[in-house]
Amino acid sequence: MTDTDTDAEAKRGPSPRSLACLDALNFFLADVRDGLGPYLAIYLTSQRHWDPSQVGVAMAAMLVGTIVTQSPAGAMIDRVRWKRAAVAGAAAVVSAGCLAMVAYPGYYVVVGSQAMIGAAASVFPPAIAALTLGIVGHRRMARRTGRNEAFNHLGNVAAAVLAGAAGYLLGYWSIFCLVALMAALSAATVLVLPEAEIDHDRARGAVEGEEGGAQVESVAELFRDRRILAFTACAVMFHFANAAMLPLVGQKVTQGMDRGTAVLMSACIITAQLVMIPVALAASRLAESWGRKPVFLIGFAVLPIRGLLYTLTANPYLLVGIQLLDGIGAGIFGVVSVLVVADLTRGTGRFNLTQGVLATATAIGAALSNVACGYIVKAAGFDAGFGTLTAIAVGGLALYAWAMPETRDVEPAQVGASSGMEAEPSASPA
């Protein structure tokens, strides 16, 4: 980015309407991005009487849909200027999939709907990040990403409260309808976001070349940067260790409960999400002052602790308390992972494609987590499942500590051109 571009970015601020739309979009998409999550596992176990392996397949189906589409979705968001319409269309697909599972709750409909929801949900992470970067720019990206995550977690709290109440009072079918409603509100919100305030070149991480026009680096050149490959491997291990933990908790407590499990699962989600709100805001600030690496290591370190604690009790109230640790790990990952990708792709024009590839890789990790743990629990019990996830978390923590450099002060000229693990620090903050 040239000095002129940086000065212009610093002087030009987003309008209150754009910032309010970003707040509302992250709030409403909170429950839409992840679909039904652990509620589906409880519904299929307690209401449809599926065994753990069938539940694992259903949970993994959404992630398989994401795996197939996430990288193309990121590449699409890089190229297109109708990002708002892409988000609205994806939200409509999620809504239709949720309603289909209510109307026709058979095995193939549930698995197919989950895959369809996963494919649509692949649009949301790169689109939100692109809209944010295109509106606020690199200089404001860290703080704005923290605010995005805070509103996302606030939306999850609101959705969990509503889902717990609806599931208890009306039945599990109402939770599916709630997600469909949140998707519709997401579509309405993104369509009132001012199009004129989105800088689409900046939204993809491109900079102006000497002869004008956005500079875009080749995909092959981008992925010769081993820092990107190392971070992707670490993120995969994080999601493998994290993805199946809460669904396994839901299945574990379902064995001794029935109607009250929706309330308990809502309590698990609410406690974690309430912790994530201040954690996300703090992580965005500490990532600027401390750097990305130490903050991310803190988030990674809580995963194995959480996995071990889950093996020590079946008390539902203690399980809710342990879930507070998820608020620290996931809250940090949600903020810092976006910032690391923005650092490593600044000046390449491949910000959203890289996010899509990273999301594809992490979706593979999460899908393997749900499927593998489903079969492990069926064969050896819940403690074996939690133990496996803990071991993966320890491996990922060690890999990140050893393989990843600090990325906070990487300048556009350095990004993407490095084929080594270390980047030269810039003379001034990015």
CATH number of the domain where residue 349 is located: 1.20.1250.20
| Angle subtended at Cα 37 by Cα 187 and Cα 142, rounded to the nearest 5 degrees | 60
Asked if 114 and 62 touch (Cβ cutoff 8 Å), the reply is yes
The answer to the question of residue 124 being in a domain is: yes
Identify the pLDDT of residue 9: 46
Q: Is residue 210 part of a domain?
A: no
Which domain does 164 fall in, by range?
Answer: 16-200+220-403
For 31, phi and psi rounded to 5 degrees? Answer: -85, -15
State residue 85's pLDDT score: 92
Q: What is the pTM of this model?
A: 0.74
- What does the alpha-carbon distance between residue 23 and residue 18 come to, in Å, rounded to a whole number? 9
For residue 266, tell me if it sits in a domain. Answer: yes
Residue 319: partners with Cβ closer than 8 Å, 6 or more residues away: 249, 252, 253, 264, 268, 310, 313
Q: How many whole angstroms separate alpha carbon 237 and alpha carbon 91?
A: 28
422 within a domain of the structure (yes/no): no
DSSP state, residue 108: H
Task: Give residue for tokens 């979009």.
Answer: 25
Is 8 domain-assigned? no
pLDDT at residue 23, rounded to an integer: 93
Identify whether the C-beta of residue 117 lies closer than 8 Å to the C-beta of residue 180.
Answer: no
| Listed residue (370, 348, 273) closest to 67, CA to CA | 370
H or E stretch including 251? helix 245-254
Q: The tokens 């669904």 sit on which residue?
A: 247
Q: Is 164 exposed, middle or buried (0-12, 13-18, 19+ CB in 10 A)?
A: buried
Does the residue 421 lie in any domain? Answer: no
Residue 357: the pLDDT is 86
Model pLDDT for residues 374-416, shown as the tens digit of each residue: 788 878 888 888 888 899 999 999 999 998 988 876 555 444 4
Q: Which residues of 286-320 are buried (b: 16+ CB within 10 A; e: fewer)?
A: bbbeebbbebbebbbbbbbebbbbbeeeeebeebb
Neighbours of 238 (CB within 10 A): 27
> Distance between CA 34 and CA 63 in Å, rounded?
10
Per-residue pLDDT of the chain (430 residues), as tens digits, is 444 444 444 455 788 899 999 999 999 988 777 666 667 777 777 777 777 777 778 877 887 888 888 889 988 998 888 899 999 999 999 999 888 888 887 888 888 888 999 899 889 989 999 999 989 888 888 889 999 989 988 887 888 788 778 777 787 778 888 888 889 999 999 999 989 888 888 888 776 443 444 566 667 777 778 888 899 999 999 988 888 887 787 777 666 555 556 667 667 777 777 888 899 999 999 998 898 999 999 999 999 998 888 888 877 778 777 878 888 888 899 899 999 998 888 877 888 888 888 888 887 888 788 788 878 887 888 888 888 889 999 999 999 999 898 887 655 544 444 444 343 333 333 3
Q: Which amino acid is at 240?
A: F
Q: Give the Cα separation of 317 and 361 in Å (integer).
A: 34
Residue 213 inside a domain? The answer is: no
Domain count, the chain: 1
Q: In whole angstroms, what is the distance from residue 177 CA to residue 35 CA? A: 11
Residues 252, 320 contacting (CB under 8 angstroms): no
pLDDT at 26: 92
- With beta carbons less than 8 A apart as the criterion, state whether 124 and 90 touch: yes
Residue 179, domain member (yes or no): yes
Evaluate the CA torsion angle 290, 292, 298, 301 in order and state its sign: negative
